[in-house]
């Protein structure tokens, strides 16, 4: 069992070599030289892991889990336990090493998930909207992307015979999970139906196809070993009738059943699409592909309402760790876990579901700490932040989702004499909804009640009307425990998180490729 002890605080080393090796001034950014070899990958920070072979490296990504989301999630989780909330700590907030991480893309001040996750898993910053290709290739340019691929940490381990897994509550082909195993000029090319004909003709493959063909196109690899998430529509043809085959809701235009191709690609593989099959597969020893929804998995608050059921993020994390441990025979493994729907709830100005999914991610982290030894690196961070705010002078212990009450317990009101909530957004779709409601009310604002604002579907107030709430550009936090965790400190470039993981896995990355 992983413990939080003083031994984890010993042996801190400063990061070195933080200057950019390649300055791309035309893109307004600074990009590290791509790590095309294991040697450059493990020496980029000037640090090599000294712990020998680690048990594992597990990277948790709270998609959109900025500092305000962590703070609110802490209070929300504490209040669910009957506490005032502010004094509570999420499990990963107890990790001994913490840093602030700069999230900009090479072409964007406020980033997207494709460019940020690509930075974390390849060691270079790149453009918004592209997956694990160098910033020299513009978004959407298939020909430029071919040959501009940058090796990911997952690929580097797979070609050396090590085991890997990727888990997400979003589609498994979404930007964050997809950056680990695919290279794409556009993050939206999740299936062939999403690609322009010119890109297909030029030889680019959709992201689902790249996942299924990973072993064939990566010499020495047997493919990603545990794959759990949503997005099965990207794997099945659009000719499959939903009512006859509920697991085969498809959108592919090429007629391919990628799950059948994946199953045929190697012996001892299992495909699952519901909770019953998922639980039955826990005892097997082979590779597993689990696709639990045609699109994204349900928000955690809605998970138990589905007819076939869905595993929680904690259950999928436990499943993946057990599988990878069994398959690794004592060798280190890499697991990527994404709480993908925190981001989606924020885009909809829905703080309730964002909080529930933040708590669900924390439960997954806690489960990992119980299952792994002190010789495993656990790293928790976000790809970017959101325009989510906590404000208004509420009293200590005020219900996080409720109306603001001051120290005297009285409702606090704005200049129009209306009560307001603690949580809000700088922009988003709720502004338009509020304007429409005001118009129906004769131009007068709707007086909020605690019942209204604490309802699951309530959209917190946003200032600037947008079709969807946007990301935010401030730094995010990174939390680490285990070997190499001391390198997570200060203010870091996001791509340096790659080097933290690669340093810990240095012995594995020194092995010859193509084993």
Cα–Cα distances in angstroms (integers) from residue 382 to residues 46, 359, 387, 456, in the given order: 25, 14, 14, 24
* Angle, CA of 185, 191 and 196, to the nearest 5°: 55
CA pair distance 463, 349, nearest whole angstrom: 11
Report the relative pairing of strands 226-230 and 163-171 from DSSP bridges.
Answer: parallel
CA pair distance 2, 33, nearest whole angstrom: 34
Reduce the DSSP state of residue 435 to 3 states and report it. Answer: helix
Report the relative pairing of strands 97-102 and 476-481 from DSSP bridges.
Answer: antiparallel
Using the structure block, give the residue that is written with the tokens 């946003």.
462
CA pair distance 324, 135, nearest whole angstrom: 33
Structure tokens at 99: 């840093």
Structure tokens at 327: 């398959």
* 113 a catalytic residue: yes
Report the relative pairing of strands 56-62 and 333-339 from DSSP bridges.
Answer: parallel
CA pair distance 513, 245, nearest whole angstrom: 41
Which of 201, 215, 208 lies closest to 187 in space, CA to CA? Answer: 208
Within 10 angstroms of residue 121's Cβ, the number of other Cβ atoms is 28
Which of 472, 459, 484 lies closest to 112 in space, CA to CA? Answer: 472
Residue 231 · residue 171 · CB < 8 Å: yes
Instruction: State the sign of the Cα–Cα–Cα–Cα dihedral 189, 270, 380, 462.
Output: positive
- In sequence order, what are the residues at sequence separation of 6 or more whose Cβ sits closer than 8 angstroms to the Cβ of residue 363? 312, 313, 314
Gyration radius of the chain over CA positions = 23
Structure tokens at 1: 């069992």
Q: Which of 68, 113, 168, 506 is catalytic?
A: 113
CA pair distance 27, 9, nearest whole angstrom: 38
How far is residue 23 CA from its own chain's centroid?
Answer: 28
Residue 236 · residue 249 · CB < 8 Å: yes
Which of 174, 67, 55, 44 lies closest to 122 in space, CA to CA? Answer: 44
Structure tokens at 381: 């961070």
- In sequence order, what are the residues at sequence separation of 6 or more whose Cβ sits closer than 8 angstroms to the Cβ of residue 118? 124, 126, 130, 131, 132, 133, 150, 179
Structure tokens at 476: 């995010």
Which residues are identified as catalytic?
113
């Amino acid at each position: 069992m992983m413990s939080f002890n003083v031994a984890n605080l010993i042996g801190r080393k400063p990061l070195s070599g933080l200057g950019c090796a390649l300055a791309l001034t035309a893109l307004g950014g600074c990009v590290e030289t791509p790590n095309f070899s294991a040697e450059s990958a493990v020496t980029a920070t000037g640090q090599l892991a000294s712990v020998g072979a680690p048990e594992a490296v597990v990277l948790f990504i709270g998609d959109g889990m900025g500092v305000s989301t962590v703070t609110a999630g802490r209070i929300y989780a504490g209040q669910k336990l009957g506490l005032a909330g502010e004094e509570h700590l999420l499990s990963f907030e107890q990790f001994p090493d913490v840093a602030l991480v700069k999230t900009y893309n090479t072409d964007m001040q406020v980033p997207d998930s494709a460019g940020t996750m690509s930075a974390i898993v390849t060691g270079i910053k790149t453009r918004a909207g592209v997956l694990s290709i160098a910033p020299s290739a513009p978004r959407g340019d298939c020909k430029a992307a071919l040959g501009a691929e940058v090796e990911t940490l997952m690929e580097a381990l797979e070609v050396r015979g090590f085991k890997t897994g990727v888990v997400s509550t979003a589609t498994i082909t979404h930007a964050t999970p997809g950056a680990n195993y695919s290279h794409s000029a556009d993050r939206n090319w999740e299936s062939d139906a999403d690609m322009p004909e010119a890109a297909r003709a030029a030889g680019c493959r959709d992201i689902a196809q790249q996942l299924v063909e990973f072993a064939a196109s990566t010499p020495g690899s047997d493919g990603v070993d545990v794959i759990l998430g949503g997005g099965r529509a990207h794997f099945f043809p659009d000719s499959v009738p939903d009512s006859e085959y509920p697991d085969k809701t498809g959108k592919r235009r090429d007629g391919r059943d990628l799950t059948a191709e994946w199953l045929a690609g190697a012996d001892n593989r299992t495909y699952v699409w519901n909770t019953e099959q998922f639980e039955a597969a826990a005892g097997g020893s082979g590779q597993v592909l689990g696709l639990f929804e045609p699109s994204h998995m349900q928000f955690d608050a809605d998970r138990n309402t589905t007819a076939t059921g869905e595993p929680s993020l904690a259950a999928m994390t436990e499943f993946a760790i057990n599988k990878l441990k069994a398959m690794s025979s004592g060798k280190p493994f890499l697991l990527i876990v994404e709480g993908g729907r925190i981001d989606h709830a924020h885009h909809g100005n829905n703080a309730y579901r964002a909080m529930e999914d933040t708590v669900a991610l924390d439960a997954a982290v806690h489960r990992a700490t119980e299952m792994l030894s002190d010789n495993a690196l656990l790293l928790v961070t976000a790809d970017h932040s959101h325009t989510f705010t906590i404000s208004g002078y509420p009293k200590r212990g005020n219900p996080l989702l409720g109306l603001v009450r001051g120290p005297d317990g009285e409702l606090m009101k704005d200049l129009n004499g209306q009560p307001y909530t603690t949580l809000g957004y700088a922009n988003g779709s709720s502004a338009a909804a509020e304007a429409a409601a005001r118009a129906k009310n004769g131009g007068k604002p709707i007086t909020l009640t605690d019942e209204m604002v604490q309802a699951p579907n309530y959209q917190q107030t946003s200032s600037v009307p947008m079709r969807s709430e946007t990301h935010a550009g401030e730094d995010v936090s990174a939390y680490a425990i285990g070997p190499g965790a001391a390198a997570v400190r200060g203010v870091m470039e996001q791509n340096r998180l790659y080097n933290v993981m690669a340093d810990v896995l240095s012995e594995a990355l020194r092995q010859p490729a193509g084993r």
